[in-house]
Chains A and B, each alone.
Chain A
Amino acid sequence: MNDCNVILDTLSQQIINAYQKGFPLCNRPFLELANRFNSTEETVIECFQNLQDQQVLSRLGPVFNHQQAGASTLAALAVPDEQLDEIAKKVNQFTQVNHNYAREHSYNLWFVATAANEDALTQCLAHIHRETGFKPLILPMEQAYHIDLGFNIEFSEHTRKR
């Protein structure tokens, strides 16, 4: 995945900061947004499509509570630097893995795995161990104190169109 800045118009910026949570649950939700931002339903839908095409929008929909929806854990591998890309690719192949990042530490590959239940999750982690040759550090969440994934984006000059 490339890390790059994209240029967004004002409507996109307004939508991003207003609707990371509380997207309307009604017959024509995009029309509701259009009315609020003095735009048209068609333009708003185009805007979402554009955000998706530019890979800014991962999806429009729910963020589930992993604990309640199934089993989930954070895990990490300590991989020699020269093997990192190769091992990351192996980890990515598991459909249960939904986030996978390189981080600066001796444990340098960090991923989140989710499955329908604890047994399936344990099996998945054992399989990752076998497939990569590295034993995962398994760090399930014990308590969530604060979760605010929909934080306000500060659009800087170079991400602004006008």
Chain B
Amino acid sequence: MTAQQLRFDNIESQTLTPQQQLQLFAAIEQGLPLVAKPYDALAKYLNISEKQVISTIEDWQEQGMIRRFGLVIRHRKLGYVANAMVVWNVNDKSVDDVAAILSKQKVVTLCYRRPRVLPDWPYNLFCMIHGKTRSQVIDQLNEICQHDELANIDKKILFSNKAYKQRGGKYSHTSASGK
């Protein structure tokens, strides 16, 4: 795999080559080592400087390639077991407005537009609500639906009853065969 496939050609970094960026990317997607000087440890491993590690991560954050940098938590372990995906079949003209209302709700953590796949799947707007119990999530959803704009939209709530896998995306070790 080349660095270009990971689109580092779009990314401005002060000091690292695309190849070095790819290596740093592959290293940090596994998570930082839990040692006193984690960036220094990565730098030594990659044969670059600690300053280069830190400034490159800063660049990636500024350029939006990294959304957030910190603890990635498995919510189920902390009791957030009622994980609901709510899907809405919204008129294309109002989808942005409906999304804006959903996005403002405190309990909504994610809100995306995705394509309909007719006839099987008419829903084009998705949001996530994470809660500790089903009834809590349903109450929260009912409260949200009191907004006039949301009251009459066809929707479904899909609770997840099992997590088979939950981890960060791995871009750098993927191959077409997948095994």
What is A's interface to B at a CB cutoff of 8 Å? 1, 3-6, 8, 15-16, 19-23, 25-31, 41, 45, 48-49, 51-52, 54-66, 68-70, 72, 74, 88-89, 91-105, 107, 110-112, 114-117, 119-120, 123-124, 127-128, 137-151, 153-156, 158-159
Contacts and interface: CB of A to CB of B under 8 A. Distances in A.
B114 A140 contact: yes
B32 A103 contact: no
Contacts of B126: 74
Contact of B78 (A52, A115, A155): A155
Interface stretch (B12-20, B139-147, B157-165): B157-165
A88 B166 CA distance: 13
Interface in B132-179: 132, 156, 158-179
A16 B169 contact: no
A76 to B, nearest CB: 8
A156 B79 contact: yes
B54 A95 contact: no
A15 B166 CA distance: 21
Contacts of A54: 77
B90 to A, nearest CB: 12
B163 A101 contact: yes
Given A94-B179, A114-B170, 15 more contacts: A22-B70, A54-B77, A55-B77, A56-B73, A57-B72, A59-B32, A62-B60, A63-B66, A64-B65, A64-B66, A66-B169, A96-B178, A116-B172, A117-B5, A153-B80
